[in-house]
């Protein structure tokens, strides 16, 4: 237990430049408190003490602003940055070395029974305000951009951007997000498509202009030829 706690505090130090010491993180960071409360609630949940488990999770929500259902499964070195407004559903699963920012929801899409919340692989980053909804997997090393709404599976080492989210692979680059925490440097697939359309329009406009110039030149040649014939 203490080893896991030390690992978690070390992960906060590695990812948060404002973190100065493990003691400060342990005493003052709501994400750490929410994780500790969840470990306790999950213990009761697994032993079918569901009321006590839910009571602990609601107490945690009251103090931290982070709601984690006691049934959720969370891996090691889990980091919650700020954390206010985070909601993690009952059947959600989170792998090791994951990072969540405030306003994130790992939720379901209806009243289905069984698995209805997402599974995050290892080393996944979910940025501010993102919503991941449904019983699918977000692959290892994936990134969810800020305010994205993810409704389908995300491959490994890919980035999901937009509403609804679209997947953009990172050109074969495998990034360790525990070392590189960046919510904004993500490619925008819509912008790329708009740029491609703009380039195509410019190309077609040049073709039309060239055709008009050739037609005008041909007409001018005909008129000159007609004038020569009249003068003769």
Degrees, nearest 5: CA angle 171-177-183: 85
121 and 138 Cβ atoms separated by less than 8 Å: yes
What own/partner pairs with CB < 8 Å and gap ≥ 24 does 169-175 have? 174/141, 175/141
pLDDT attached to residue 220: 64
Give the model's pLDDT for residue 148: 92
Identify the band that residue 3 occupies on the pLDDT scale cut at 50, 70 and 90: confident
Q: Would you state the pLDDT for residue 222?
A: 64
pLDDT tens per residue across span 170-218? 644 544 544 455 555 555 666 667 777 888 888 888 888 888 887 777 6
The torsion region of residue 85 among left (phi > 0), alpha (psi -120 to 50) and beta comes to left
State residue 82's pLDDT score: 85
Name the 3-class secondary structure at 214. Answer: helix
Q: Name the residue with tokens 């001018």.
A: 220
State residue 178's pLDDT score. 46
Task: Render pLDDT for 41-86 as a digit per residue (tens, 0 to 9).
Answer: 999 999 999 999 999 999 999 999 999 999 999 999 999 988 899 9
Rounded CA separation 144/128 (Å) = 9
Report pLDDT digits (tens) over 121-180: 999 999 999 999 999 999 999 999 999 999 999 999 888 888 888 887 664 454 454 445
Looking up tokens 């019983």 gives: 135
Specify the 3-state DSSP secondary structure of 174: coil
Q: What are phi and psi of 203, to 5 degrees?
A: -65, -45
Other beta carbons less than 10 A from residue 65's beta carbon: 15
Which pLDDT tens digit goes with each residue over 79-119? 998 889 999 999 999 999 999 999 999 998 877 778 899 99
Q: How far apart are CA 27 and CA 30, in angstroms?
A: 9
């Amino acid at each position: 237990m203490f080893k896991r706690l030390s690992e978690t505090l070390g992960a906060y130090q590695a990812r948060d430049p404002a973190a100065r010491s493990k003691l400060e993180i342990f005493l003052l960071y709501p994400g750490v408190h929410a994780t500790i409360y969840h470990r306790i609630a999950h213990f009761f949940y697994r032993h079918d003490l569901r009321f006590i488990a839910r009571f602990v999770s609601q107490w945690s929500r009251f103090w931290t602003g982070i709601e984690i259902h006691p049934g959720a499964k969370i891996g090691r070195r889990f980091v919650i940055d700020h954390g206010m407004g985070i909601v993690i559903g009952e059947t959600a699963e989170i792998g090791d070395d994951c990072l969540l920012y405030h306003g994130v929801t790992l939720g379901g899409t209806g009243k289905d029974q069984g698995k209805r919340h997402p599974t995050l692989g290892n080393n996944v980053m979910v940025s501010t305000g993102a919503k991941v909804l449904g019983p699918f997997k977000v692959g290892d090393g994936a990134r969810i951009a800020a305010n994205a709404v993810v409704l389908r599976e995300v491959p490994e080492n890919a980035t999901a951007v937009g509403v609804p989210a679209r997947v953009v692979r990172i050109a074969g680059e495998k990034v360790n997000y525990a070392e590189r925490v960046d919510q904004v440097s993500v490619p925008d697939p819509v912008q790329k498509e708009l740029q491609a359309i703009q380039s195509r329009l410019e190309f077609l406009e040049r073709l039309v202009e060239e055709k008009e110039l050739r037609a005008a030149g041909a007409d001018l040649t005909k008129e000159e030829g007609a004038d020569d014939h009249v003068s003769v």
